[in-house]
Amino acid sequence: MSIPSNLQKKSFTLVDQACHEIRGFRNLYQQLDDKVRLSGHSISTLSNYARKLAQLSLHFGKLPQHISEKELNKYLASLARQSKSPSLSDFKFTVYGLRYCYRLMGMNDKVVQLPRIKRDKKLPVVLNHRECKALFNAPDLLKHRVLLSFIYSAGLRAREVSRMILSDIDSGRMMIHIRQSKYNKDRYVPLSPLMLEGLRKYYYACHPIDYLFNGNEPGSPLSVRGMQGALREAVKKCNLQKGITLHTLRHSYATHLLEFGMDIVTIKELLGHVKIETTLVYLHVAKPNRSNLFSPIDRLYAKG
């Protein structure tokens, strides 16, 4: 069977194998594909759900709807034990995939029996200004220096940058067009004049074609994995110890805007958040912009 090309490579083997070995999985996958597309969810959602459902079906040799509650509980408990943080592991995507599958099959009683997943309440990691500058200057390649600073300059998601084409940079209006991002939404964000200078320097030096940041293969975009590699090398060179990811640059963008005085509603729109509650987390991270703030210990030991 030819698996749709929109699945990530790491999904291909498991889904393809399940379609061949598990009777009815091919039809289940097609229904899942149709439902995800009609619901407006991202391709990564389809990939995650399909991969976990395939893995589950191959483990038991049958479709998810035919797995008993006892078998399922034992399987999920095993996944939870394998991770220090189940809410960020295979456990989460397996449960979400099962919920989606059961609703698709009209088996709402099964949905109720699945374990609830506690949402992490950790605050996002944010870089300070000095760390940002060090990180953006660290890569040896101009392409990577521009890439990391570009992500921060507009608070972009990695996948948004990966699919961005040259014409999305509108220097006439000084805007960046972000197409069909999360929840299939388009949005515009301001293009920094300083960033435009960097992009022009990169363009004339590297001559990208079609995509703003090209991958190794002609006509292909730079993958998220490629971006992660560039960031990893930069972090290592700077010797930063904060547990930095590409999304840390987006968190830093939002937090710094808040600290510089931008209102939270505008930041919500720039980030492309659907709910204001998602953006409000940065209020707990941002350093309050008040000159009279102090720690009581300084007053406790003040001279005189």
Question: Which residues are catalytically annotated?
Answer: 157, 182, 247, 250, 273, 282
d(CA 5, CA 204): 33
Angle of helix 246-259 versus helix 224-238 axis, rounded to 10 = 70
Kindly list the distances between the CA atom of residue 210 and the CA atoms of 13, 80, 162, 195, in Å, as whole numbers in the listed order: 30, 43, 12, 19
Q: Bridge partners of 230?
A: none
- For residue 253, what are the CA distances in angstroms to 127, 150, 263, 289? 9, 11, 13, 16
For residue 214, the cross-strand partners are 221
Instruction: Find the Cα–Cα–Cα–Cα dihedral 166, 249, 5, 28, rounded to 10°.
Output: -140
At 122, list the tokens: 């950790």
